[in-house]
Amino acid sequence: MSVNLEFQPVVIGTDLNAYNVARAFNMEYGIKSQMFGRKKLMMVNYSKICNVTEVSRFAEDDIMIETLINYAKANPSTKLILFAASEQYVFRIFKNYEKLKEYYLIPYAEPELGLILSDKMNFYSYCDKYNLDYPKAEVITKASYDNIDIKIDYPVVLKPIESSDYFNINFEGKEKVYILQNEEEVKVVLRNIYETGYQHNMVIQEYIRGDVTNEYVMNVYSDTSGKVKLMSLGRVLIEDPQPDMRGNYVAITNPIDHKSTNKIYQDIKRFLESINFTGLSNFDLKYDEKDGRFKVFEINMRQGRSSFFSILAGANYAMPIVEDLIKENTIFQTVYGDRPFVWINCSKDTFMHIIKEYRKDFYEEICSIDNIQDTLYYKNDLSLLRKINLNKYFKICDERLWTYFKTRKDVT
């Protein structure tokens, strides 16, 4: 590994996903990332692989753009690669793309296509055109939410089409994704959502039966010519059980190897290359035991917060990004994550205890895997202060996990 100071990752945000980016580049190239955010969060505190600049008004677009442009002007000889730690920041990059692309290399989709695909129903239209399976879905609008006529059998999944707007509203009983048993439950939730100020459409979706271990996540990088250069598939073991965190993962391992697994690699690769998609993408999907097919829920135009699992699987997304955007190399081989691994976002002791106690059918398999790691404990970034800080962080994660795990059935 050689240190290369000619390029640097610049991350908007200071959370787990931000550290995920910093660690990916430090592991591959030995370099330090720059981060900007309103405040420094626990995940990056006392880290020596990233510089963190706190900007109190960073939530304002003009302040964010001014901050990023000033940093670029202060580092004219360094090629800067801009990353977003959250979906909200991706949309802010899209909104200010023309200004930012003058100073930054941006490993995300072009804004026009990115905004189209961020609408779930638009995404499903593309899935229809390019033969990518997805659960049946219907749209509910603000104008029609109190007079619904759902054709999909119950139970159903209800979620926002515009998640960044939904993120900003609050009400009792709010969840990231809802699993609802009948029309009355749907009406109550819709009323709460729209009366609290949400302005966009909602999507009602077919519920794919099966527990969380049928859920998968795919990380992909497509180069500037639209060719897929990295793919890594992970199988969910534990999902964050908090209602407002549903869909965030606590533990991911390597996928089951069968025909459908091989096919989903081919299907997603064909889909992305057919629409000439460029940059990072992250797919949430679930294996449907009824027909033996994977059903895709959505595409995210960024690296996922759990994307460190790809690195554990042998597919560090930093490498194809640098080959593509910095070295402008168009002939490197596609990287596939194929090593046994377990990625966790809790302490290893808690994870093993939960698997042994509540997931006995996976315990033997997990015990055979040596490659069990989290994103934050990095041997090259473990000062005493950082260890103390991380111990506090994982204590919070563990306590939250145990509190919900013992009372809810849907966390396994």
**CATH code, domain with 163:** 3.30.1490.20
pLDDT at position 1 is 41
- Among residues 137, 182, 195, 197, the alpha carbon closest in space to that of 161 is found at 137
Q: Are residues 195 and 229 in the same domain?
A: no
Instruction: Identify the sign of the CA torsion 315, 353, 19, 23.
Output: negative
**In the chain, how many domains are there?**
3
Helices (H) and strands (E) in the chain, counts: 14, 16
Q: Are residues 90 and 170 in the same domain?
A: no
Q: Answer yes or no: is pLDDT of 321 > 50.
A: yes
**CATH code, domain with 318:** 3.30.470.20
CA distance 337 to 104: 28
pLDDT at position 168 is 79
Percent pLDDT > 90 in the chain is 76
Q: Are residues 160 and 301 in the same domain?
A: no
- Between β-strands 249-253 and 279-288, what pairing exists: parallel, antiparallel or unpaired? unpaired
Q: Are residues 223 and 302 in the same domain?
A: yes
Q: Are residues 341 and 289 in the same domain?
A: yes
Instruction: Identify the sign of the CA torsion 224, 375, 245, 390.
Output: negative
Segments forming the whole domain that contains residue 226: 212-411
pLDDT-derived band at 411 (thresholds 50, 70, 90) equals: very low
Is 117 inside a domain boundary? no
Place of tokens 């990353």: 83
CA distance 347 to 361: 21
pLDDT at position 236 is 95
Q: How many CA atoms lie within 13 A of 286 on its CB side?
A: 18
Is 146 inside a domain boundary? yes
Q: Are residues 283 and 343 in the same domain?
A: yes
pLDDT-derived band at 247 (thresholds 50, 70, 90) equals: low
Token pair for 106: 């941006």
DSSP H or E segment with residue 70: helix 61-74
For 117-168, the pLDDT digits (tens) are 999 999 999 999 999 999 999 999 888 888 888 889 999 999 988 777 787 7
Token pair for 225: 């010519």
Q: Answer yes or no: is pLDDT of 56 > 50.
A: yes
State mean pLDDT over 396-401.
90
pLDDT at position 143 is 84
State mean pLDDT over 79-89.
96
Is 122 inside a domain boundary? no
Q: Are residues 228 and 336 in the same domain?
A: yes
Percent pLDDT > 70 in the chain is 95
The SS3 assignment for 103 reads coil
What is the DSSP secondary structure assignment for residue 81, as one 8-state letter?
E
Q: Answer yes or no: is pLDDT of 355 > 50.
A: yes
**CATH code, domain with 14:** 3.40.50.720
